[in-house]
Amino acid sequence: MLSGTIEKPWVKEKDTQGRLAYWLTYLVAFLGIVGGALRCYFAWKDVPRVGNLCLIMEDNFDTFDTENTWTRQVDMSGYGNGEFEMTTDSSNNSYVQDGFLYIVPTLTSDVIGAANVLNGYTYNISGCTNTNISACGAVSNSTSGSVINPVMSARLTTQNSYKIQYGKVEIRAKLPRGDWLWPALWMLPEQDTYGIWPASGEIDIMESRGNGPDYKAQGVDYVRGSLNWGPFTWLNGVSKTFGWWNTRRSSYDEGFHTYSLEWTESFLRIYVDTRLHFMLQISFNEPFFTRGDFPPFVQNGSQTIQTPNPWANASNAAPFDQPFYLIMNVAAGGTNGWFPDGVGNKPWLDGSDTAMHDFATHQSDWYSTWPTDLTQRALVVDYVKMWQKC
């Protein structure tokens, strides 16, 4: 057994440096917590709010109201994008079932036969809503490469019912899967106040591509929001006002997500599910003509002219300072660059005169990627809500 006194020097002598390090550790941790809390608070405080909102439309699709809410656009024109579908008023392409709206792309060949799509057939769409007769029919001719639009789909709008000028839109939807499908939730102005597209603006709340996640130009695991604006169709500032979000571990065809627009006189925000997942957030702190940084002069035919400012003497929000209505649709293909050339074994070239023909002749390739279950191939909408700023 040991005897005697055991030395305990730490009792008699204070380790000043050790105590200082101890308290410094807690002080730094405390300051970190306070700093993080303050940063979160001021970040929350600085997020612009829409303000008071009045609900003007809510559709939960217990019924399909094509009398007072939705208008089916019936058209074969390609809508300025060189799209390969025709949009119909058929219940095959848009219908309500079990509280959901379905916008479903189908094959034209199932209606008129594959041979007729490619050659020797004249097709006139019933119920055409375009005043231009050339948008209401097509003739297939294998010699010239002209075809009947190989896909049938639907495009629904609130053009004749509901519009908002500042407010909020919220749409809960599940996206379709299938190569070259192009689902979109978007808005156009009630009038061309500042001139033809894109001078009067376009708000894209959500656009996506139905191609799988391995598609190198952002497939169904990405969604995009953007604004289109510019003095000419070929001089568009969209490249300065767009953004995207992706799911990282899944894709947007696997479940429902909420796509939202918040819009005031001073800002516009587009996001998916939560404001933290914003695709686009833009302050109207400068005129759009200044934001565009357009060239001072452009070629107009054989003349060089000064680039016109469609929004001169308007607010900084122009052209996004007027009523817009909602559109929901599923397109197929197109020649406007949404599907870039040379990516994903794309079977057509945008600049080709026979782009739709080339797409149609490769039907067996792309149609094999479309789910046979129509509920998986469709843009499925759970509800739509629109609020006007009070």
The predicted-structure confidence for 349-358, as pLDDT tens digits, reads as follows 999 999 999 9
Tokens, residue 55: 């609900």
CA distances to 230, 317, 386 from 340, in Å = 22, 31, 33
Q: What angle do CA 298, 227, 160 make, to 5 degrees?
A: 110
Residue 262 annotated to the active site: no
pLDDT of residue 155: 98
pLDDT category at 41 given cuts 50, 70, 90 is low
Q: What percent of the chain has pLDDT over 70?
A: 93
Q: Count of CB atoms within 10 A of residue 45's CB?
A: 7
How much is the pTM?
0.89
- Residue 202: active-site member: yes
List strand residue ranges (DSSP E) for 98-199, in order: 100-103, 106-107, 121-124, 137-140, 151-153, 155-157, 163-164, 167-174, 181-189
Share of the chain above pLDDT 90, in %: 85
CA-based nearest residue to 90, from 122, 134, 137, 125: 125
Name residues whose C-beta falls within 8 Å of residue 205's C-beta, 6 or more positions apart in sequence: 169, 171, 185, 186, 187, 225, 259, 260, 261, 270
Q: What pLDDT, in 10s, does the model give residues 241-273? A: 999 999 988 999 999 999 999 999 999 999 999
Q: Say how far residue 53 (Cα) sits from the centre of its chain.
A: 23
Predicted pLDDT of residue 5: 65
Q: Which residue has the higher pLDDT, 374 or 41?
A: 374
CB distance 132 to 168 below 8 Å: no
Of 67, 83, 190, 202, the catalytic one is 202
Name which of 41-45, 99-103, 153-157, 238-242 the model is least confident about. 41-45
Ranges 9-13, 69-73, 237-241, 309-313: which has the least confidence: 9-13
pLDDT in tens, 283-308: 999 999 999 999 999 998 889 999 99
44 pLDDT more than 60? no
Which of 39-53, 135-149, 344-358 has the least mean pLDDT? 39-53
φ, ψ of residue 99 in degrees (nearest 5): 80, 15
Q: What is the pLDDT of residue 23?
A: 80
Residue in 207, 262, 265, 286 annotated catalytic: 207
Give Cβ neighbours of residue 38 (< 8 Å, ≥ 6 apart). Answer: none
Per-residue pLDDT tens digits for 198-236: 999 999 999 999 999 999 999 999 999 999 999 999 999
How far is Cα 78 from Cα 111, in angstroms, rounded to an integer? 19
Q: What is the pLDDT of residues 73-106, one digit of tens each?
A: 999 999 999 999 999 999 999 999 999 999 999 9
Average pLDDT of the segment spanning 325-329: 98
pLDDT at 22: 73
Listing DSSP states for 329-384 in one string gives: EEEE--SSSSS-TTSSS-SS-TT-TTHHHHHHHTHHHHHTTS-SSHHHHSEEEEEE
The confidence score (pLDDT) of residue 27 equals 80
Average pLDDT of every residue of the chain: 93
pLDDT for residue 248: 85
Domains of the chain: 48-389 (2.60.120.200)
Q: What is the pLDDT of residue 237?
A: 97
